[in-house]
Structure 1
Amino acid sequence: MTDADKAPLDLAYRQAIEYLTGLAERPVGATAGTEQLLKTFGGPLPPGPGSATETVELLGRAAAEGGIPTASGPRYFGYVTGGTLPVAIAADWLVAAWDQTASLYNLSPAVMVAEHVAATWVLDLLGLPEGASVGFPTGCTMAHLTSLAAARHKLLADAGWDVERDGLTRAPQVHIVAGAQHHMTIDLAARYLGFGTGRIRNVPVDDKGRMIAAELERVLAGLDGPVIVCAQVGDVNTGAIDPVGEICDIAHRHGAWVHVDGAFGLWAAASTALRPLVAGVERADSWALDAHKWLNVPYDCGIVVIAHPEAHRAAMLNERAGYLPPATEGERDAIEWVPDFSRRARSLPVWAALRTLGRSGVAEMVERCCALTHRFAGQLAGLDGVELLNDVALNQLLVRFGDDDEVTRAVIARIQSSGVCWFGGTVWQGRAAMRVSVVNWRTGEEDVDRSVAVIRAALSEVSEERAAVPAV
């Protein structure tokens, strides 16, 4: 490698360190608009080669001018996106530098062994069945797809149908049952697999968004044929957790497969203090979660766990092409567990994060985020013009201002423009609300306190402005 080749790498490293070091004080949210960013990135395609260093400088300029939101910063509470642990970033840099296709053992033995170890650590940490199979897809959408594909395989194979060979045209109908508050990625997986969203039966939920077990019993009693039940551990609005143990008992009595959407909430199982909230989750048949959420590794990294490895493997890699090596006992081939063939070694940052944090470190991170969410609730409760719409179950809080959709959205916009913190809007039970998601390892008590001060100021300003407008 020449000095010219090293120069853009050195510059990228310096820019990354500068960005990460300044996260706590950088404006939260993007400040550069499309027009400004098009001036930075746009123009005609260059006619020939240019300077790699200048290209990297341009990327750094985009970040410096506010085109890169600090979603990994300590006061970003808009989406359940998580931050990035330094060791996970470092591992991800090495993944890019090594450029290993992490799909077959013989392409990268070290990565595949590390992935196997990471998989066993995940099972141990979350209390999931020791013999379950684990894959590392891009995120929860593909983890759902993988899980529902495995469920489809097993349920239809049990009914005498080979879905991988014969498709769904004349196959027995597979019913999908989910809580009425289920996440849209369940719908996406159903669409991608050919089930269609119209086949999903929604089970009524309580006022917190949790599936009502008695209603599930009623719905299942009216269905014939194969059934997949989708439970949820951690609603994206309220953090609510379905009674997953009871759901497993009911569903299994009816011969159904239980899939758990645990995108962020399943990490609660890593904490002995929070584990009772997900009691019985280990009795499900498949689980989907994201490492790029509460484990705080870089995007993109989901995790899929399936209690029936043979169904998992059959759904993902039914037959091997002649150019692929045969499966060998004790050697992990990632293509057996995820939809993609060519894939980066996204499991390596997971291994690095788990090795560095250890069991107690993961638990402390999850518990601290939950405690900080309670801190938000405690400071906002009782303030004039503030209504909390949910009890804190994990790390999610819904806040409404002035009991008015327009006021709520105006306060959110005012907060976002402050540059100090960032919260997103949502609609809960037909009313506009602000969503508070605490899932970043960097967030501390001072970030909560500073953000609450901004919330109070924004509400006061919006209220004064509305009071000054004469009634029509």
Structure 2
Amino acid sequence: MPTTDDIGQGRAESMRDLLEEAAQRALSYLGHLPQRPVAAACDAPELMRMLGEGDLPFEGRAPAEVLALLDEVGRQGTVASAGPRYFGFVTGGSLPIALAANWLAGAWDQNAFSEMSSPMGAAVERVALSRVLGVLDLPRISQGAFVTGATMANFTALAAARRRVLLAHDHDVDKDGLTNAPPITVAVGESAHATVLKAIGLLGLGRASVVKVAADAQGRMCPDALSRLKGPAIVCAQAGNVNTGAIDPIRRICAQVPAEDVWVHVDGAFGLWVRALRSVDALDIEPSRKAEASRIAEQGVGLEDADSWATDAHKWLNVPYDCGIALVRDAEALRGAMSMQADYLPQATRCEPFEHTPEASRRMRALEVLAVLDTLGARGLCALIERNCHQARRFAESLSAAGFEVLNEVALNQVLVSFGDDATTLKVIRALQEEGTCWCGGTRWQNRDAMRISLSSWATTDDDVDRSLEAMLRVARDIVG
């Protein structure tokens, strides 16, 4: 008869076998990414059938059998966004160290809620936030939060903004709610991202009541109209237009609204990382590329003048989904908006994670961020950003030279291209996705349909750019004639 020690040993061996098999399957998947078509082979209804939709069976299945099914179906149903030729939705891949840290965090299974629930979780988060503020050269007095993505990062920062601009009018919104509160004017650029409007709606500030500020041809907010803005007010600026990559003139925006009851927030889901290009002089690249990178870096000057910032780590920092970062200059405003109290909670003696985030229970996202930053260093991160920006210019120059119209100034990592009229452009996008060499999505810009090319993966090489350009030009010429 087996003893309890025997049973425990058997469970350990079973877990080891299962995890080793999962690792082998994951490595096999990653190893085939450069060769496989980028688009998924099956649509969601077919995948549901393969997974066995319907009620939960009464009897379970062996873990290895479940794992094999998930792997088999997953290979057919996943987009190769972790690979080198996915240029849709500003999606980064996962750096090897980021994925390794993700696996380690999963094994630790920590609730990064507080120092009591996980000393390691609290320590990692504090160090990672310090690293992020340092590499972005933002005010070191700022506090922050690791959340699911830029949507929640915007929400978190704007909650702090709502608190402070109303406190300036003697109203504590987190205690008394919005009833009887002075109305807050929220101003955004005409090309503000939809997730900012979603966050504004979640905060009860009203999507329909937002003031739209005129933007230039590249989507940059024109700040002159803000001089008439009266508080309490929040201005939502943008670093990295999702179509053009353009960055709002943040310094001029902040200069227009210096009042205590006006807050400037920056939605910098990917564009905030332009601040990492400050280290470009240390890169071993040709002088022309270094000069171009310096000009790109100039767009980030003045971002430090804002009151808060939101960004994604699962974009240009190339950590696994999901990870967003909210950064707020006024730490007390963030804590006042996000903290909670209960008899069972620890009495905070330091900056506890749960005092600065919307979530209570949460995974240790910060571990992946810390692992990537410490692996790359400031120079490695700068090189990654510069390389993707240079690759974007290569796409634009080659497509333009082939006679196709690039619709934006390539200010960062985004390229918009038209292949003629709207119908033709849409045909090219669909055909390119079906061809499988690379994947680009469509968008609507200045009343025209365009193909959008987004460069944000560490894995994209110059050879991947060449292969993708060859496919784009071949597909386009087949359709255009």
Calculate the TM-score normalised by the size of structure 1: 0.94
**Superposition deviation, residue 255 in structure 1:** 4.5
Residue 183 (structure 2) pairs with residue 173 (structure 1):
yes
1:305 is paired with a residue whose SS is strand
State whether residues 285 and 308 of structure 1, in contact with CA within 8 Å, keep that contact through their aligned partners in structure 2: yes
Find the partner of 1:326 among 347, 358, 372.
Answer: 347
* Misfit runs of 4+, over 6 Å: none
Counterpart contact for 1:11–1:57, Cα < 8 Å: no
Find the aligned partners of 2:230 and 2:308 in 1 and give their Cα distance: 22
Does 2:39 correspond to 1:29? yes
Structure 2 equivalent of residue 300 of structure 1: 322
State how far apart, in whole Å, the 2-side matches of 1:254 and 1:229 are. Answer: 13
Residue pair 1:245, 1:278 contacting (<8 A) in 2 also: no
Take 1:10 and 1:57, find their aligned partners in 2: how far apart are those partners?
13
- For 1:398-437, what aligned pairs fall within 5 Å after superposition? 398-402=416-420, 404-437=421-454
1:395 aligns with 2:386: no
Q: Name structure 2 gaps, 5 residues minimum.
A: 1-10, 279-293
| Preserved CA contact (<8 Å) 2:231 2:259 | no
Change in 2 beyond 3 A, CA 1:224/1:34? closer
Structure 1 residues 366-405: aligned runs within 5 Å: 366-384=385-403, 386-402=404-420, 404-405=421-422
Deviation at 1:312, TM superposition (A): 0.5
Residues 141-188 of structure 1 show CA distances to partners (whole Å, capped at 9, x for unaligned) of 111111111011111111111111111021000110010000001111
Residue 460 (structure 1) shift: 1.4
2:371 maps to 1:361: no
Alignment of 1:214-363 (within 5 A): 214-217=224-227, 221=228, 223-253=229-259, 255-272=261-278, 273=294, 274-317=296-339, 319-329=340-350, 332-363=351-382
Contact 2:111 2:361 in 1 (8 A): yes
SS of the equivalent of 1:360 reads: helix
Query: 1:63 Cα shift?
Result: 2.8
Q: CA deviation at 1:244?
A: 0.8
3-state secondary structure, aligned to 2:247:
coil
Within 1, Cα distance between the matches of 2:460 and 2:473? 19
Supply the distance in 2 between the matched residues of 1:118 and 1:4 (Cα, whole angstroms): 35
Cα displacement string for residues 258-304 of structure 1 (whole angstroms, at most 9, x for unaligned residues): 00011000000011234311111111000000000000000110001
Deviations 1:123-152 (A, max 9, x none): 010010011001101111111111111011
Q: Is the 8 A contact 1:285 1:307 kept in 2?
A: yes
Instruction: Give the aligned partner of residue 164 of structure 2.
Output: 154
Look up the equivalent residue of 1:155 and give its one-letter code.
V
Paired with 2:217 and 2:186, the residues of 1 have a C-alpha distance of 23
What residue number does 1:133 align with?
A: 143
Aligned residues: 454
* Conservation of the 8 A alpha-carbon contact between 1:259 and 1:287: yes
The one-letter code sitting in structure 2 at the alignment partner of 1:15 is R
SS in 2 for 1:271: helix
Which 5+ residue runs of structure 1 have no aligned equivalent?
465-472
Looking at structure 2, the residues matched to 38 and 127 of structure 1 have their Cα atoms a distance apart, in angstroms, of: 46
Specify the code of the residue in structure 2 equivalent to 1:346. R
Q: Distance in 2 between matches of 1:43 and 1:134?
A: 41
- 2:115 corresponds to which residue? 105
Task: Tell me the distance in 1 between the aligned counterparts of 2:57 and 2:474.
Answer: 48
Are 1:203 and 2:224 an aligned pair?
no
Identity percentage of aligned residues: 45
SS in 2 for 1:2: helix
Q: Which amino acid aligns with 2:451?
A: M
C-alpha deviation, 1:383, in angstroms: 1.7
User: Residue 341 of structure 2 aligns to which amino acid in structure 1?
Assistant: R
Tell me which of 127, 133, 137 is aligned to 1:123.
Answer: 133
Q: Report the residue type matching 2:250 in the other structure.
A: V
CA-to-partner distance for each residue in 1:65-108, whole Å, 9 max, x for gaps?
A: x2111011110001101110000001111111111100110111
Q: For the Cα contact (< 8 Å) 2:141–2:329, is it kept in 1?
A: yes
Per-residue CA deviations over 1:299-336 (Å, capped at 9, x if unaligned) read: 1100011000000000001x41110011113xx42111
The CA distance in 1 between the partners of 2:65 and 2:235, in whole Å, is 53
User: 1:238 touches 1:396 (CA, 8 Å); kept in 2?
Assistant: yes
User: Which position in structure 1 is the counterpart of 2:478?
Assistant: 461
- How far off its partner does 1:114 sit? 1.3
| Contact kept in structure 1, 2:166 and 2:261, CA below 8 Å | no
The code of the aligned residue for 2:418 comes to R
Distance 1:454 1:36 in 2: 28
Quote the residue 1:58 is aligned against: 69
Aligned to 1:184: 194
Aligned partner letter, 1:271: L
CA distance in 2, matches of 1:215, 1:437: 31
Distance in 1 of aligned mates of 2:425 and 2:244: 17
Q: CA RMSD in A?
A: 1.2
- Partner SS, residue 297 of structure 1: coil
Q: Which residue, 84, 87, 90 being the options, matches 1:80? A: 90
Shift of 1:254: 7.8
CA contact (8 A) 1:81 1:439 kept: yes
